[in-house]
Structure 1
Amino acid sequence: MSAKIKKPFKIWFSDMWPNFDFQNNYFTIYLSQHFDIELNPKPDFLIHSVYSKNYLKFNCYKICITGEDTRPNFSESDFHIGFDYNDSPRYLRWPLFLMNKYSPDYLIEEKDVNLIFKKKQRFCSFVVSNSYANERINFFNKLSEYKRVDSGGKCLNNIGSPVVDKFEFISKSKFNIAFENYSSSGYTTEKIFDAFIANCIPIYWGNPCVEADFNEKAFINVHKYNSIDEVIAYIKYLDRNDDVYKSVLSEPAFLDNKVPEQFQLKKFVEFFAFIFEQSNQKKKVYKFAHKGIYLWYHIKAELNRYKAKLARFKNSLLSKVS
Structure 2
Amino acid sequence: MSLKTNIKNTIADYKRFRKDQRKFGNDKVRYYNFWALPNSDACWFTQFLKHKNTIPDGRKINFLSVVGNPKISYFIRSPKIFFTGENIDNADHPSYLFKKYHLKNHDLSLGFSFLDDEKYLRFPLWILYMIPANASFEDIKTLINSYNNPNHRLNKNRQNFCSNISRADNNGIRKTIIDLLNPIETVKCAGSFLKNTNDLQEKFGDDKIEYLKTFKFNICPENSNTNGYVTEKLFEAIISGSIPIYWGSDNKPDPKIINQDAVLFFDPENPQVLFDKVNLLWNDEKAYEEFCQIKPFTENAAEEIWNKLSDLETKTKALIK
Question: TM range, normalised to the smaller chain?
Answer: 0.7 to 0.9
Q: Which segments of structure 1 move beyond 4 Å, counting only runs of 4 or more?
A: 101-105
Please report how far the alpha carbon of residue 217 of structure 1 lies from its aligned counterpart in structure 2 after TM superposition.
Answer: 1.7
State the Cα distance separating 1:115 from its structure 2 match.
7.8
Q: Tell me which residue corresponds to 1:189.
A: 231
Gaps spanning 5+ residues in structure 1: where? 1-8, 281-322
Partner of residue 255, structure 1: 298
The 2-side partners of 1:230 and 1:101 are apart by: 30
Q: Which of 296, 308, 311 pairs up with 1:267?
A: 308
Pick the aligned partner of 1:51 from 67, 71, 77. Answer: 67
TM-score (norm 1): 0.75
| Alpha carbons of structure 1 residues 148 and 62: separation in structure 2 relative to 1, 3 Å | same
Pick from 82, 85, 92 the counterpart of residue 64 of structure 1.
82
Pick the aligned partner of 2:144 from 95, 100, 107: 107
| Partner residue, 2:41 | 23
Structure-2 residue corresponding to 1:90:
119
Partner of 1:75: helix, strand, or coil?
coil
Residue of structure 2 aligned with 1:229, choices 256, 272, 276: 272
Which string of whole-angstrom CA distances, capped at 9 and with x for unpartnered residues, describes residues 43-87 of structure 1? 653211111233321132321001001155321222111111122
- RMSD after superposition: 2.6
Q: How far off its partner does 1:28 sit?
A: 1.5
Structure 2 counterpart of 1:14: 32
How many residues align? The count is 267
The verdict on how the C-alpha distance between 1:259 and 1:114 changes in structure 2, with shifts beyond 3 A counting, is: closer
Code of the residue aligned with 2:115 in structure 1: it is: N
Letter in 2 for 1:80: S
What percentage of aligned pairs have identical amino acids? 24
Judge conservation of contact 2:54–2:316 (CA < 8 Å) in 1: no
Native 8 Å contact 2:169 2:223 kept in 1: no
Q: Which runs of 5+ in 2 are unaligned?
A: 1-26, 90-98, 133-139
Counterparts of 1:172-187 in structure 2 under 5 Å? 172-187=214-229
Q: Contact 1:176–1:195 (CA<8 Å) still a contact in 2?
A: yes
Task: Quickly say closer, same or farther: Cα 1:114–1:135, change in 2 above 3 A.
Answer: closer
2:245 is aligned to 203
Counterparts of 1:205 and 1:14, CA distance in 2: 31
8 A contact 1:126–1:149 mirrored in 2: yes
TM-score, normalised with respect to structure 2 = 0.75
Cα 1:113/1:226, change in 2 over 3 Å: farther
What letter corresponds to residue 51 of structure 1 in structure 2? V
Distance 2:290 2:275 in 1: 18
Structure 2 contact 153–242 (Cα < 8 Å) conserved? no
